[in-house]
Amino acid sequence: MLRYLQSVEMRPVCPVRGGVTVAVPANIDVDEIGRTFASVVSDRPSVAGLWVSTSTDGYHLWLLIREADAVEERNLYRLVGILDEQSFGDYFQLHILTQSMYSIPVRDVLPGDAKKIFDHAA
C-alpha cells in the first residue's frame, strides 16, 4: 500500500467533511467527473445545467435545477453514487441551485473557475 501511495501524485493535504484531513489525488480529471455525472442527470426534466469547479477541499458539482420537490432533490443527491462507482473517491460535493431562487445569472454565483459541462436552462 505504501508503494502505491508513493507512486500517486497528490495535491496538498486539505480538510474535508467532518474535520477529516485527506490528500486529494491530482490525477482525477475534472472534465471526466463532470461528464460522468452529466451522463446520469442531463436527461432529467428538473435539471437545467451542470458546472464543475475545484478547490482545496476537492471537486464541486454545481447542478442548476428547475423547480423540484424534496423527493427529486434527494434523488439527485443519490445519483452522486455514480462517481463512487467510477472510483473518483470521496473528493467531491454536489451543490444544487434552484433556478427560481436567483434574480441574477447563475454564472454570477458560481466560482470563477467553474467549467460548464452543459446548460439547457430556459
Is the pLDDT at 55 greater than 60? The verdict is yes
Query: Is 110 within the bounds of a domain?
Result: yes
Question: Is 5's pLDDT higher than 50?
Answer: no
Give the model's pLDDT for residue 3: 31
Q: Which pLDDT value is given to residue 26?
A: 60
Q: Per the structure block, which three cell numbers stand in for 27?
A: 490525477
Which pLDDT does position 1 carry in this prediction? 30
**What CATH number is associated with residue 102?**
3.30.460.10
> Cell triple for residue 3?
508503494
The boundaries of the domain holding residue 91 are: 26-119
Q: 96: closest CA among 48, 64, 54, 58?
A: 64
The span from the CA of 81 to the CA of 9, in Å, is 24
User: Within a domain: residue 5?
Assistant: no
> Quick one: which of 74, 59, 75 has its CA closest to 117?
59
Total domains present in the chain: 1
The reported pTM is: 0.74
**Arithmetic mean of pLDDT, 70-92:** 84
Residue 48, φ and ψ in degrees, nearest 5: -110, -25
Please answer whether residues 47 and 68 qualify as being in contact, where contact means their C-beta atoms are separated by less than 8 angstroms: no
| Residue 79 reports pLDDT greater than 50 | yes
Residue 77 cell numbers, joined: 443527491
Are 60 and 93 spatial neighbours (Cβ–Cβ below 8 Å)? yes
* Range with top average pLDDT, 12-16, 24-28, 86-90: 86-90
Least confident span in 4-18, 27-41, 68-82: 4-18
